[in-house]
Amino acid sequence: MALVVQKYGGSSVADASCIKRVAQRIVATKKGNDVVVIVSAMGDTTDELLDLAEQVSPLPPARELDMLLTSGERISMALLAMAIANLGHEARSFTGSQAGVITDSTHGKARIIDVTPSRIREAIDQGHIAIVAGFQGVSQDTKDITTLGRGGSDTTAVALAAALEADVCEIYTDVDGVFTADPRIVPAARKIPKISYDEMMEMAACGAKILHLRCVEYARRFNLPIHVRSSFSTKEGTWVVADPYNEGTEMEQPIISGVAHDRSEAKITVVGVPDKVGEAATIFKTLADAEINIDMIVQNVSAAATGRTDISFTLPTADSQTALAALKKIQPQIGFESLLFDDQIGKVSLVGAGMRSHPGVTATFFAALADAGVNIEMISTSEIRISVVVGQDGVDAAVAAAHRAFDLDADQVEAVVYGGTGR
């Protein structure tokens, strides 16, 4: 009997009728499989709890915020277990702590360091459906309740699936799977039937919000297949696996799997940095000490005449003020000339394992952007990704142009790359 781990997000359990629908889906899966379900808090619960916290304290202690927020999953998981019981199946809900999700002590963004799911295993062995609270765990050192931060429920699902050696981890969402581009920007975007962990990680890191980077990393480490699919239909979604093109009927892998974009970053340029050894290191050490995650970094060639260079980097817009303040503090020490700040940018990324073996991808991409009249401000590449920073008002045009240039638009692709199978 296969073991299926399913994860339902907040929108899938937003109210009683949603919960009953999810319960039916779980019971249907239980016919022929063992089932473990990870569930998020209902719809707006987390926001309501945060609002309450704000009413009693402008700066609530992180430990207590975690205690507060974890009540959200406690409610949804108990209700889901009740709804399943009402359909005649035995279901038991477990907190992260009861499910053996052991984390470090970093409240609000704890990392899973171990999963010891003996109680879940026991529930499965007794023929029960186990419902587990997503997003939460218990700290190894202090035994305090922790939360995993963004993407936490997906990560719980994958970590638990790996620990239980599940056959698949199904991530339910409100869209049909991972798309070649955001369908709101590219109406011709289509669902990707299979994608590799590496590509999915690049997509996630570049703004595709459907799966969080951490959860894909975790799945890759344990070679656990993820199936991203809609909780509103029974259609196949997107499979995230190690080697998607080595099996089945596909003749060749697509060059580009998808086009991701991200409008949440800003750009800072440190102008006139003396071109000496260690100056860049000092700048990024300062930013790291301020706990700012830097994304792209570009350093121009030093102008020989001045002996100075410009260093540009992107970072989450929310961290901009902290970063600017930290840099101003070291201006006398470094001796750079000025700081430029631009939050009207967007990042557009092409992701595809196929680009390894296809030269000319960069040329095609840049030509498409030029034809669309989009100016490139920064460039960064990895083995299977090309990202460019453009003006924020050029993002939509850039995504659409790239999608078209690489024959990803639905009519072409279904026929050409996937041989018309529709998968």
Query: Residues interacting with a second copy, by CB under 8 A?
Result: 16, 19-20, 23, 49, 52-53, 55-61, 63-65, 67-68, 70-72, 74-75, 77-83, 85-86, 91-93, 95, 98, 119, 143, 145
Among residues 19 and 417, whose Cβ is nearest to a second copy? 19
168-173 sheet: strands from edge to edge: 91-94, 129-133, 33-39, 2-8, 168-173, 226-230, 238-241, 194-196
* Pick 86 or 333: Cβ nearer a second copy: 86
Q: Is 243 helix (H, G, I), strand (E, B) or coil?
A: coil
The burial of 49, by beta-carbon neighbours within 10 Å (0-12 exposed, 13-18 middle, 19 or more buried), is given as middle
Kindly state the smallest distance separating residue 180's Cβ from a second copy, in Å: 38
The residue (of 57 and 344) whose beta carbon lies closer to a second copy is 57
Q: How far is the CB of 92 from a second copy (least distance, A)?
A: 7
Where would I find the H helices in 243-360?
279-289, 320-329, 331-334
Cβ of residue 63: shortest distance to a second copy, in angstroms? 7
Return all residues near 241 (Cβ < 8 A) that are at least 6 apart.
194, 195, 196, 197, 225, 226
Residue 198 to residue 257: CA distance in whole angstroms: 11
List, as one string, the DSSP characters of 181-237: S-TTT-TT--B-SEEEHHHHHHHHHTT--SS-HHHHHHHHHHT--EEEEETT--S--
Shortest Cβ 101–a second copy spacing (Å): 15
- Shortest Cβ 400–a second copy spacing (Å): 43
Q: How far apart are the first and last CA of the chain?
A: 26
Instruction: Tell me the residue type at 387.
Output: S
Question: Which residue, 45 or 349, has its beta carbon nearer to a second copy?
Answer: 45
Nearest CB to a second copy, comparing residues 82 and 185 = 82
Q: In the complex with a second copy, which residue's Cβ is closer, 58 or 332?
A: 58
Q: How far is the CB of 53 from a second copy (least distance, A)?
A: 6
Q: Which residue has the tokens 């440190």?
A: 270
